[in-house]
Amino acid sequence: MIYLDHNATTPIAPEVREAMMPYLTGEWGNPSSSYKFGSKLKGVIETARAQVAELIGASSRDVVFTSCATESNNTAIHAALKTDPQKRHIITSAVEHSSVLNYCMALEQENYRVTYLPVERDGLLKIVDLETALTDDTAIVSLLWANNETDVLFPVEDIARVCQARGVLFHCDAVQAAGKVPINVSKLPVDYLSLTGHKFNAPKGVGALYIRRKSPFTPYLHGGHQERGRRGGTENVALIVALGKAAELALKKLPTYDRTVRPLRDALEEGILGYPRPSDGRGTGGEGILNAELNGHKSQRLPNTCNLTFHGIESEALLLLLDQAGVCASSGSACLADSDEPSHVVKAMKTESAASRQMIRFSLDGTNTATEIKNVLSKVQGTVKLLRG
Ligand code: PLP
């Protein structure tokens, strides 16, 4: 199997598995208990909190553990709406993850007004569109750091400054950015920021929400006093430890992430799109595959993803044959993979074309190899040829 779907999920790192194991076996106490067998786990949770905080330049106190980024995203938007119930307007974009989009659509049923900002053909967001959409009634702006389908980066610093200047709360879904680009909330005026462990080598089912110290907050899950009253529910110690360890590893790998992954991604993309062989010898060069097109901005994106349309070939047919050939890729968000809907992201970028039905996302990480990429290239070339007859 050649796994090129790291934006969907990543394998659990051996160090992470090892770190969490004691809390799935002998150390099964409840951190809220008064006796030591349980209460000593509080320290373990705080170590993990510090590790996550360090990944994003936060202070530990401002990090709350959640069950996933879907919960983090819902919680942030919910908190902002509860702060000032008079404000009934939300701004997001047409290319957000379903955990924001579908929540916003549900809120429209409760008489909230939602602006879904458009994006350009290359997936970029125009800051002027945000400025124009802001009103005195806007409760929150919720926008991605990096898109999960195209990896296109939104101008988060500009967004944060515009929101700050207008006194509007800003939530950023940084799920795909974490561990791939530096994040420093001490320098970025973001009110809420979401993460999830399974995108950077922790297991599924654990996430975090950063909440700026002075930003308003109302819990989404009411319950016990866990997480300083910001999220009820007995802590999942093993998963929290795993998230902490994964954050520590991600921070360690961050300085080399780009130079490890980018050449592999570029080789794949150049091989398919047929860019000329660069002078440093990277990539396969040559003619590439006819009628293939990049979805997303060429440079303003993360280094690990290429999202391509193969004109005339439905995504599902190509994915099926690639799967049979041992290649894991996807046609967009894994959370929507069981629906027949074309990618809402590519549709928002290229409204007129069939690109959204004929797209494939390859997302890599540092464990992929040049040999794998060569293999995938030849499998894609063969499969496309077969499907085009
Ligand atoms: N936001 C983005 C950008 C994502 O890519 C994902 C996962 O695919 C999520 C949110 C949801 O994360 P989780 O699966 O932890 O709920």
Residue with tokens 């969490």: 20
End-of-domain residue from the set 218, 234, 249: 249
Reported confidence tier of residue 14, pLDDT bands at 50, 70, 90: very high
Distance, CA of 109 to CA of 139 (rounded, Å): 17
CATH number for the domain spanning 350: value is 3.90.1150.10
In this structure, are residues 335 and 176 in contact, taking their beta carbons and an 8 Å threshold? no
On the question of pLDDT at 278 being above 80, the answer is no
Do 159 and 315 form a contact (C-beta atoms < 8 A)?
no
Residues 290 and 366 both lie in one domain: yes
**Ligand 1: which residue has its CA nearest to atom 5?**
148
Which of the 8 DSSP states describes residue 178? B
Same domain for 270 and 127?
Answer: no
For 141-158, the pLDDT digits (tens) are: 999 999 999 999 999 999
**Shared-domain flag, residues 118 and 208:** yes
The catalytic position among 104, 172, 328, 335 is 335
pLDDT value at residue 276:
60
Ligand 1 pocket test, candidate residues 99, 103, 173, 176, most atoms within 8 A of CB: 99
Q: How far is the CA of 211 from the centre of ligand 1 (A)?
A: 18
- CATH number of residue 178's parent domain: 3.40.640.10
Q: Are residues 119 and 79 in the same domain?
A: yes
Helix (H) or strand (E) run with residue 116 in it = strand 113-117
Q: Are 69 and 140 found together in one domain? A: yes
Cα–Cα distance, 66 to 78 (Å, whole number) = 14
> Pick from 249, 266, 297: which residue ends a domain?
249
Tell which residue, 303, 324, 302, 301, has the closest CA to residue 383. Answer: 324
Mean pLDDT, rounded, for 288-308 = 94
Nearest of 210, 205, 179 to residue 73 by alpha carbon: 210
* List of E strands, 191-334: 192-196, 207-211, 292-294, 305-310, 327-328
Count of domains observed in the chain? 2
E strand or H helix that includes residue 371: helix 370-388
For ligand 1, say whether the CB of 330 is within 6 Å of any of its atoms. no
Q: Are residues 191 and 267 in the same domain?
A: no
- Residue nearest ligand 1's atom 9 by CA: 69
Among the listed ranges 45-49, 178-182, 343-347, which one has the minimum average pLDDT value?
A: 343-347
C-alpha distance from residue 3 to each of 58, 102, 184, 369 (Å):
32, 28, 30, 11
Closest among 195, 191, 222 to 73, alpha carbons compared:
195
Out of 175, 194, 198, give the residue to mutate to test ligand 1, the one with the largest number of ligand atoms within 8 Å of its CB: 175
Work out the number of other CB atoms within 10 angstroms of the CB of residue 329. 22
Please tell me whether residues 142 and 258 are part of one structural domain.
Answer: no
Residue 2 reports pLDDT greater than 70: yes
pLDDT mean over 28-49: 98
- Residue 148: Cβ-neighbour burial (10 angstroms; 0-12, 13-18, 19+): buried
Residues 187 and 52 in one domain: yes
On average, the pLDDT of the chain sits at 94
Final residue of a structural domain among 205, 224, 249: 249
Query: What domain range includes position 284?
Result: 2-6+254-388
Mean pLDDT over residues 342-367, rounded?
90
Q: So what's the pLDDT on residue 281?
A: 47
Query: Do 124 and 34 share a domain, yes or no?
Result: yes
**Whether residue 240 has pLDDT greater than 60:** yes
| pLDDT tens digits, one per residue of 182-204 | 999 999 999 999 999 999 999 99
Given ligand 1 and candidates 156, 236, 335, 345, which is best to mutate, with the most ligand atoms within 8 Å of its CB? 335
Question: What's the confidence (pLDDT) of residue 288?
Answer: 85
**335 catalytically annotated:** yes
- Residue 73's pLDDT is 98
Q: What is the pLDDT of residues 308-326, one digit of tens each?
A: 999 999 999 999 999 999 9
**Is the shortest distance between the CB of 175 and ligand 1 below 6 Å?**
yes
Please state, as a whole number, how many other Cβ atoms lie within 10 Å of the Cβ of residue 323: 12
The tens digit of pLDDT for each residue in 65-77 reads 999 999 999 999 9
Weakest-pLDDT range from 208-222, 332-346, 352-366: 332-346
Q: Do residue 147 and residue 177 come from a single domain?
A: yes
Q: Are 245 and 273 found together in one domain?
A: no
**Does residue 207 line the site of ligand 1, with CB under 6 A?**
yes
Instruction: Look at residue 105 and tell me whether its pLDDT is greater than 90.
Output: yes
Identify the pLDDT of residue 140: 98
Per-residue pLDDT, 178: 98
Distance in angstroms (rounded) separating the CA atoms of residues 294 and 280: 22
Residues 232 and 296 in one domain: no
Q: What is the pLDDT of residue 84?
A: 94
